[in-house]
A and B are shown apart, each in its own frame.
Chain A
Amino acid sequence: DGGITQSPKYLFRKEGQNVTLSCEQNLNHDAMYWYRQDPGQGLRLIYYSQIVNDFQKGDIAEGYSVSREKKESFPLTVTSAQKNPTAFYLCASSIDSWTEAFFGQGTRLTVV
């Protein structure tokens, strides 16, 4: 099946540890996005990538890092510099920057 896969669905980490969230798509989409959602809130953009080997900061990039070495993969690292990392993280992709985006099912990260 074509789609966007985020793994794992639930992730627990100790405070001070870096953690990497996976996002893979087999839709041949050029653009990929990472969003963060806090309880009862809308989505906020962390990073986005219009094309392989290129990415830009979104509204809340501090404490996060990404890479886009392959078209189908856009991993997000939550670093120890992120003050409040516990949240629901959503990855999305779109054919290009002009078309609708499709979302994965999210990873719920809990830092204790």
Chain B
Amino acid sequence: DAKTTQPPSMDCAEGRAANLPCNHSTISGNEYVYWYRQIHSQGPQYIIHGLKNNETNEMASLIITEDRKSSTLILPHATLRDTAVYYCIVRAGYGQNFVFGPGTRLSVLP
């Protein structure tokens, strides 16, 4: 079973920031938080990952709470092309694999 809990769906207005929450209350000290997204009928796309510090790249920012029990993926200026299912995954590494739950279906509205 997935170790994360995400809302099933969210809406966001185009041009606004999209904030996608994820709960991972049972996360272990050596587990990273990964975010992927999947646009309909395509393979998942890697977005970002982090351990305990906040991370930012050209696609998004990842904010991890100090206790590491939850995180938020931020798309700073959502566009229609960001409409997708977003998956939050926790994973340690060797011997573990990416466990994908149902994710959050983000709809960016014009």
Contact = CB atoms under 8 A, between A and B. Distances in A.
Interface residues of A, number: 27
Contacts of B103: 42
B44 interface: yes
A5 to B, nearest CB: 11
Contacts of A43: 44, 98, 100
B2 interface: yes
Contact of A101 (B41, B46, B95): B46
Nearest to A103: B43
B41 A42 contact: no
A43 B2 CA distance: 10
A33 B97 contact: yes
A106 interface: yes
B95 A42 contact: no
B43 A42 contact: no
Interface in B70-110: 87, 93-103
Interface string B1-43: 0100000000000000000000000000000001000000111
A106 B34 contact: no
Interface residues of B, number: 21
Interface string A70-112: 0000000000000000001010100011101111111010000
B45 interface: yes
B98 A42 contact: no
Given A33-B98, A58-B97, A98-B94, A42 B46 contact: no
B49 interface: yes
A103 B77 CA distance: 25
A97 B94 CA distance: 5
Contacts of B34: 100
Nearest to A43: B100
Contact of B41 (A40, A88, A92): A88
Contacts of A92: 43-44, 98
Given A97-B95, A100-B34, A105 B101 contact: no
5 closest residue pairs by CB, A with B: A103-B43, A43-B100, A42-B100, A98-B93, A97-B94
